[in-house]
Amino acid sequence: MKEVKTPKRPLIYYYCIVLLIILLFNLLVTPLLSRNQVTEVDYGTFMDMIEAQDIGAVQVEDTRILFTDKAGTTAYQTVPMEDPTLTERLHDAGATFARVMEEPVSPLWSFLLTFVLPILIFVGLGQYMSRKLMEQAGGGKGSMTFGMGKSSAKVYVQSTKGIKFSDVAGEDEAKESLAEVVDYLHNPGKYTQAGASMPKGILLVGPPGTGKTMLAKAVAGEANVPFFSISGSEFVEMFVGMGASKVRDLFKQAKEKAPCIVFIDEIDAIGQKRSSGSGYGGNDEREQTLNQLLTEMDGFEENTGVIILAATNRPESLDPALTRPGRFDRRVPVELPDLAGREAILKVHAKKIKTAEDVDFHTIARMAAGASGAELANIINEAALRAVRGGRTIVNEADLEESIEVVIAGYQKKNAVLSDQEKKVVAYHEIGHALVAAMQTNSAPVQKITIIPRTSGALGYTMQVDTGDQYLLTREEIENKIATYTGGRAAEEVAFGQITTGASNDIEQATKLARAMITRYGMNEDFDMVALETVQNQYLGGDTSLACSPDTQKEIDRKVVELVKAQHQKARKLLEDNRDKLDELAKFLYEKETITGEEFMEILRGGERP
Ligand code: ADP
């Protein structure tokens, strides 16, 4: 696709030019001005002139002799010599010993050079800079008024290589919703005849990397219409009013090119709720831009063929005015892919590389639970890179498995040297997690355990695989998960009677879960079904904010501690009861460094070691 955009230069670039010119002016012009109009002659000429009695005034200095001819029209200078009789001879020649006026530069020149020229330079530079500034701000060429506030929306000129819905794997509900838009763009008559009108704006909502941009491009690709793409943050400009004017310009361009798709990425950058009290600290520019966007959306007639798609991962922060009917009234969720979706995405991206016949994408998709489309694309690419490193052109299953670990846990840290004791502790810690998980019902089976350090800082980890997508968790299942998190530390306690810093991440995860059980899932009898916390950004890490009194907060903290403690004790008891298995498995892991889920289960069931 062709993309048109003006490159921007930083302001510092223009300041540097001004500085350079001032420097050059000082270096070149100033010495020129101070140089007088004196002719340099040799001492012989000077003596000849004395002899010819062609000397007017003479001024003898330490480093030079200044003199004029008889008529006094030209000033000369020469180097002084050891000449004791010079004064006498000069006197005889009728010279007058007086100050020789060095002929000044013509007043007109001096005026032009010292006064007019700098002013001209500065005015010229000022003009140039302001024009450049306008171009930067407006993104277009032209005079001050015409260039200001031109939108820098990229215009993708449709080409045959356009993205199609088939390139977007999974996300069937979203595609279904958008297919209607494509149909409308192909065949608007059908809709107008029935008196139906297309929504003017459609909001794509979901976590980062789930394919929102891709879907918007696919709509344009399927409908074969121009695609305007701009990011919300590009509207927010240095000068107040510029963003609003960009919005105007974008809509003007879009109407000219209709039917077309306008895609505004990260609309929350301008569409955030407007502050209720206008006081200090309000962002006028952003609000003006938002107001302009609202006005433009109201302004254009329905069925003009301009469809606005916007993407955000913070829908709760959007201004209600933006989402009311007549504006972005359709909301299309673009969620993280489920198991089938992940498998489909992996397969779409795997088409770009050569994979071995026996690669089982279903297993890979199961291992990559929770990964977004962008992460899955990354996993495929990492696997291809690993194959190249190994001197192969075909990607095998091991490459894919390793690349999932790379994306999840970082690269293997080849040169990290763990002491023997540390390696033992890590082995017990990881087996602790796996054993506690395996001894409890409803825990996901272990896929792989490794004690090879990773660049992310993890010294080892246990990879569990979700058997399917589970949407509901029972109280017992969450408690088991907490117990599994505490299993690592519990194993250290059971085996060494000592604890290490290795459990910091486990502690964080266990606390998070325990807290959510009490404050959000209503799984505590005392608080019953009362919401004590609200989720702020469900698509961005899910930060929560407390919604209760300080006394209740204290109570919550106490209950969280109780809950985690109970699960920790349960885990320790489980490990103590199975001490022989713990030792056996930890020893096996210590020797092999990486063991598979099957090997683990085999030893656990008391079978022969593979
Ligand atoms: P978003 O706009 O939601 O942040 P993008 O559309 O920019 O995400 O997706 C980033 C990349 O992730 C895409 O270029 C694509 O390679 C990959 N991707 C994401 N979702 C999908 C999907 N459903 N099918 C295929 N590829 C996907």
Q: What is the CATH number of the domain that holds 78?
A: 3.30.720.210
Atom of ligand 1 minimally distant from the CA of 170 = 23
Which residue owns the Cα nearest ligand 1 atom 18? Answer: 373
Identify which of 222, 302, 323, 311 has the alpha carbon closest to the alpha carbon of residue 266.
311
Assess if residue 610 is contained within a domain. Answer: no
Same domain membership, residue 351 and residue 271: no
Give percent of the chain above pLDDT 90. 18
Q: Does 439 reside within a domain? A: yes
- Please give the pLDDT value at position 5: 44
144, part of any domain: no
Q: What's residue 526's pLDDT? A: 87
pLDDT at position 569: 96
Q: Which of 266, 343, 401, 430 is catalytic?
A: 430
What per-residue confidence (pLDDT) applies to 511? 94
Is residue 149 assigned to a domain?
no
The vertex-309 CA angle with 303 and 313, nearest 5°, equals 150
- Of 333, 350, 365, the one marking the end of a domain is 333
Structure tokens at 163: 């993205």
Q: Given this model, what pLDDT does residue 377 score?
A: 92
The CATH number covering residue 426 comes to 1.20.58.760
Point out the ligand 1 atom lying closest to the alpha carbon of residue 207.
3
For residues 69 and 49, the answer to whether their CB atoms sit within 8 Å is yes
Ligand 1, atom 12: nearest CA belongs to which residue?
374
Tell me, yes or no, whether 275 and 201 share the same domain.
yes
Nearest CA to ligand 1 atom 5: 211
- Based on the domain organization, do 269 and 404 belong to the same domain? no
Say what the pLDDT of residue 489 is.
94
**Active site (annotated) includes residue 422:** no
362 and 288 belong to one structural domain: no
Same domain for 426 and 403: no
- 15 part of a folded domain: yes
User: In angstroms, rounded to a whole number, what is the distance separating the alpha carbons of residues 231 and 423?
Assistant: 49
State in Å: Cα 345 to ligand 1 middle.
9
Q: How many domains does the chain have?
A: 5
Of ligand 1's listed atoms, the one at least distance from the Cα of 215 is 6
Q: How is residue 354 written in tokens?
A: 């050569």
Q: Is residue 146 part of a domain?
A: no
pLDDT at position 429: 93
- Distance between CA atoms of 443 and 347, rounded to whole angstroms? 28
- What does the DSSP 8-state code read for residue 371? -
Residues contacting ligand 1 via CB (< 6 Å): 168-171, 208-214, 311, 345, 348, 373-374, 377
Whole-number Å distance, alpha carbon 343 to ligand 1 midpoint, is 14
Are 50 and 76 spatial neighbours (Cβ–Cβ below 8 Å)?
no
**Which pLDDT value is given to residue 188?**
82
Asked if residue 76 and residue 119 are part of one domain, the reply reads: no
- Same-domain status, 568 and 475: yes
DSSP-assigned states of every residue in 92-113: HTT-EE-PPPPPPPPHHHHHII
* 300: Cβ contacts below 8 Å, ≥ 6 apart: 200, 251, 255, 306
178 and 279, same domain (yes or no): yes
Residue recorded with tokens 């907060």: 553
Among 173, 210, 342, 348, which is best to mutate for testing ligand 1, by the most ligand atoms less than 8 A from CB? 210
Tokens of 493: 């306690």
At 279, give phi and psi (nearest 5°). Answer: -150, -150
- Does residue 568 sit in the same domain as residue 473? yes
**Ligand 1 mean position to 376 CA, how many Å?**
9
77 domain residue, yes or no: yes
Distance in angstroms (rounded) separating the CA atoms of residues 293 and 354: 46
Ligand 1 center to 320 CA (angstroms): 27
Asked if 189 and 227 touch (Cβ cutoff 8 Å), the reply is no
Instruction: Judge if 72 and 10 occupy the same domain.
Output: no
Report the atom number in ligand 1 closest to the C-alpha of 375: 12
pLDDT of residue 580: 92
The pLDDT of residue 145 is 40
Predicted pLDDT at 144 = 39
Sites in the chain below the pLDDT cut of 50: 1-7, 138-149, 156-160, 277-281, 609-610
| 479 and 450 inside one domain | yes
Q: Which tokens sit at 415? A: 């040169």
| Mutual angle of helices 420-439 and 579-592, in 10-degree steps | 130
Radius of gyration of the chain (CA): 40
Q: Which residues pair with 75 in a beta bridge?
A: 68
Measured by CA distance, the residue closest to atom 17 of ligand 1 is: 374
pLDDT tens-place string over residues 489-533:
999 999 999 999 988 889 999 999 999 999 888 898 888 888 888
- Does residue 148 form part of some domain? no
Which of 381, 408, 435 is the last residue in one of the domains?
408
State which ligand 1 atom lies nearest to the alpha carbon of 206.
3
Domain boundary among the residues 97, 120, 145 is at 97
| 251 shares a domain with 163 | yes
Q: How does pLDDT run across 52-76, given as a tens digit for each residue?
A: 888 888 888 888 888 888 877 788 8
Q: Compute, in angstroms, the gap from residue 393 CA to the centroid of ligand 1.
A: 25
Q: pTM higher than 0.75, yes or no?
A: no
Identify the domain containing residue 129 by its residue range.
2-33+107-136
Q: How far is the CA of 151 from the centre of ligand 1 (A)?
A: 26
